[in-house]
Amino acid sequence: MITYEEIKNNEVIKTYIKAADDALNALGYTEHSFAHVTYVAEKAGSILETLGYPERTVELTKIAGYMHDIGNVINRVDHSQSGAVMAFRILDNMHMDPTEIAMIISAIGNHDEGSGVPVSPMAAALILADKSDVRRNRVRNDDMSTFDIHDRVNYSVKKSELKINEAHTIIKLKLFVDTHYGSVMDYFEIFMQRMMLCRKAAEKLGLQFKLMINEQQLI
Ligand SMILES: [Fe+2]
Ligand SMILES: [Fe+2]
């Protein structure tokens, strides 16, 4: 059986992750490279692990998380779908079981807020992990005077935490925002759609989604 470790050490996949991030860098996007995809892989896996999903489902979720943004090498638009097709070819060539491939490509193909739907627990975990990766060091633009709204919002987040409560009823995204760089309104402008998707994703996992910014409960 193909493991997350094997996928992480695969040079072909590394090449696509790097190239996808280079393409986004050229477009002025925040970091989508190894730091982002590793965070998403591990966070998505830990969500399902905490909720008691089978070990193999957790492993496959990590694989989906690691590969979720490779489609950006083709185009930012519809990158979830193009990434799913790329993952299909790569994993099929590695002789992964079709049932497992199906779970992974379904999750990758549904992670983006434009057209994504949490069609499975794996897709839901991937969405929650992906949207919670907001942090200062994702900003690559070093000229603050030219920051766009994404730069401002990411730069303003000093710390973010995504946690499931002990009773397994709530998943809470806590953000510590330095409003000197970006306002809470900025955050809402770009995150409204993402937060709606997070709410649906949490529901898929039987959880309620809550958002807290600077100790204030917003959702
Ligand atoms: Fe993405
Ligand atoms: Fe992502």
Band of residue 121 on the pLDDT scale cut at 50, 70, 90 = very high
Token pair listed for 48: 């399902």
The residue among 186 and 213 whose pLDDT is bigger is 213
CA of 130 to the centre of ligand 1 (A): 7
d(C-alpha 41, C-alpha 64), whole Å: 7
Name the 3-class secondary structure at 89.
helix
Half-sphere exposure of 61 (CA within 13 A, CB side): 27
Task: Say which residues have a Cβ less than 8 Å from residue 185's Cβ, sequence separation at least 6.
Answer: none
Token pair listed for 181: 């760089």
Does position 182 have pLDDT exceeding 90, yes or no? no
CA of 190 to the centre of ligand 2 (A): 15
Rounded to whole angstroms, what are the CA distances from 80 to 14, 52, 210, 212?
Answer: 17, 27, 25, 28
Does position 5 have pLDDT exceeding 90, yes or no? yes
Which ligand has the shortest distance to the CA of 83?
A: 1
- Residues 6-52 pLDDT 10s: 999 999 999 999 999 999 999 999 999 999 999 999 999 999 999 99
CA of 208 to the centre of ligand 2 (A): 22
CA of 215 to the centre of ligand 2 (A): 26
d(C-alpha 153, C-alpha 148), whole Å: 9
Instruction: Quickly tell me which residue has 């079981």 as its tokens.
Output: 97
d(C-alpha 202, C-alpha 102), whole Å: 21
pLDDT at position 57: 98
- Residues 196-217 pLDDT 10s: 999 999 999 999 999 998 888 8
CA of 13 to the centre of ligand 2 (A): 15
Q: What are the phi and psi torsion angles at 143 (to 5°)?
A: -105, 100
Domains annotated for the chain, with CATH where assigned, are 4-217 (1.10.3210.10)
CA of 13 to the centre of ligand 1 (A): 16
d(C-alpha 12, C-alpha 158), whole Å: 34
